[in-house]
């Protein structure tokens, strides 16, 4: 397969996954922002969303205030933002157009229809309900993935698309964990009496906000109901991390993404793939032989930072082995 074809397949899947992940985070933040809460809580939640995507500087260059309206506009509609939903869906559609002969007509039509319908939504963007729009984005991305699995041969084209999806998904889950845990510290017990008194004076309930903080994190990766099925008790930071890092049955967990990448790479062997297999094998071993207590002893932020470095190094090696070098692209 030509590198340019592989490049389009890979990035089409990554951009589609990124659009869905962005829609998930925005929708959860939007719904949570409607709850009664102090203004500083609200502003911090929107800042964290920008931090996940490393877009704080780009945002502040265009907007003076971090609030719901500005962040939604920047993350949904802003074409100068390469990670906005509009930018991702446009890039995915353009990649699909270039390699129409390598994907099924159903897969192409799904991407093309998504883009055409988005044009009609953009015409009425000021009247659009954010929640309905974000649900539509998630639905269209789910539809594309279902069409991909249901209509395409399990050949190289399919493998490139899956690798792109899984690398983007692992990166996104790790970034959400890293950002949501910043400032939260290690798992904590119930608030002390002094903290409870302070909350009462401020008119806030710390445990109430803790619950919605962790519930929002779970909902951003469609894991809230899964969490309830597995743990069936209160939402705690340690169990949230356990689920999103080590649960092999959780589709968006770090270990699940790594486990699914390994057989895909073995199906795409070439002279340069041995290094990718080695890196993935070492990453899988480090996850298999770690547990949540060890992670919190090390420090969750350090663990996630190391994971992000390793998974992004694997993505770079994959690009070097199979895709168009970034300098050329």
Under a CB-based contact definition with an 8 Å cutoff, are residues 175 and 301 in contact?
A: no
Q: Are residues 182 and 329 in the same domain?
A: yes
Has residue 157 been placed in a domain? no
Structural domain includes residue 161: no
Verify that 67 and 214 share a domain, yes or no.
Answer: no
Q: Does residue 203 have a pLDDT over 90?
A: no
* Residues 263, 241 share a domain: yes
Residues 99 and 214 in one domain: no
Task: Give SS3 for 112.
Answer: helix
Q: Do residues 312 and 210 share a domain?
A: yes
Q: State pTM to two decimals.
A: 0.88
State the residue range of the domain holding 227. Answer: 166-186+194-329
Residue-wise pLDDT tens digits, 68-84: 899 999 999 999 999 99
Q: Is residue 249 part of a domain?
A: yes
Do 177 and 202 sit in the same domain of this protein? yes
What total number of domains does the chain contain?
A: 2
Is 82 in the same domain as 105?
yes
Quote the CA–CA distance of 112 and 89 in Å, as a whole number: 9
Q: Residues 122, 231: one domain? A: no
Question: Lowest-pLDDT range, 125-129, 186-190, 246-250, 299-303?
Answer: 186-190
> What stretches of 124-231 show up as alpha helix (H) in DSSP?
130-151, 156-181, 193-202, 206-219, 224-231
CA 150/CA 162 separation, integer angstroms: 13
Claim to verify: residue 178 and residue 318 sit in the same structural domain: yes
- 158 in a domain, yes or no? no
What does the alpha-carbon distance between residue 238 and residue 236 come to, in Å, rounded to a whole number?
Answer: 6
- One domain, residues 114 and 51: yes
Q: For 179-194, write each residue's pLDDT tens digit.
A: 777 644 444 433 333 4
Residue 288 resides in a domain: yes
Tokens of 200: 């009462």
Write the pLDDT tens digit of every residue in 20-53: 999 998 988 888 777 777 777 777 888 888 988 8
46 and 88 within one domain: yes
112 and 224 belong to one structural domain: no
- Residue-wise pLDDT for 216-267, tens only, equals 889 888 899 999 999 987 888 889 999 999 999 999 999 999 999 999 999 9
């Amino acid at each position: 397969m030509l590198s340019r074809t592989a490049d389009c397949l890979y990035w089409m899947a990554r951009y589609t996954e990124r659009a869905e992940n962005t829609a998930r985070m925005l929708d959860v933040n939007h719904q949570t922002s409607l709850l009664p809460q102090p203004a500083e809580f609200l502003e911090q939640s929107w800042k964290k969303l920008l931090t996940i995507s490393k877009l704080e500087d780009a945002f502040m260059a265009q907007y003076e205030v971090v609030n719901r309206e500005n962040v939604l506009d920047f993350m949904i509609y802003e074409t100068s933002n390469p990670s906005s939903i509009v930018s991702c869906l446009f890039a995915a559609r353009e990649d699909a157009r270039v390699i129409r002969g390598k994907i099924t007509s159903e897969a192409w039509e799904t991407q093309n229809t998504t883009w055409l319908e988005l044009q009609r939504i953009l015409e009425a963007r000021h009247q659009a309900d954010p929640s309905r729009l974000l649900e539509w984005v998630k639905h269209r991305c789910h539809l594309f993935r279902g069409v991909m699995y249901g209509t395409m041969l399990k050949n190289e084209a399919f493998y490139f698309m899956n690798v792109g999806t899984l690398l983007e998904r692992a990166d996104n889950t790790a970034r959400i964990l890293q950002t949501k845990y910043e400032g939260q510290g290690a798992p904590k017990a119930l608030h002390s009496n002094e903290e409870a008194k302070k909350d009462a004076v401020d008119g806030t309930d710390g445990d109430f906000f803790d619950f919605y903080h962790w519930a929002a994190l779970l909902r951003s990766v469609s894991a809230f109901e899964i969490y309830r099925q597995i743990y069936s008790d209160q939402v705690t930071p340690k169990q949230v991390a356990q689920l999103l890092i080590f649960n092999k049955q959780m589709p968006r967990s770090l270990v699940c993404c790594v486990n699914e990448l390994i057989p895909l790479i073995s199906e795409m062997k070439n002279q340069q793939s041995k290094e990718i297999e080695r890196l993935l094998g070492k990453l899988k071993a480090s996850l298999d032989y770690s547990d949540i207590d060890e992670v919190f002893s090390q420090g969750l932020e350090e663990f996630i930072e190391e994971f992000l470095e390793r998974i992004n190094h694997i993505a770079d090696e994959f690009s070097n082995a199979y895709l168009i070098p970034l300098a050329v692209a």
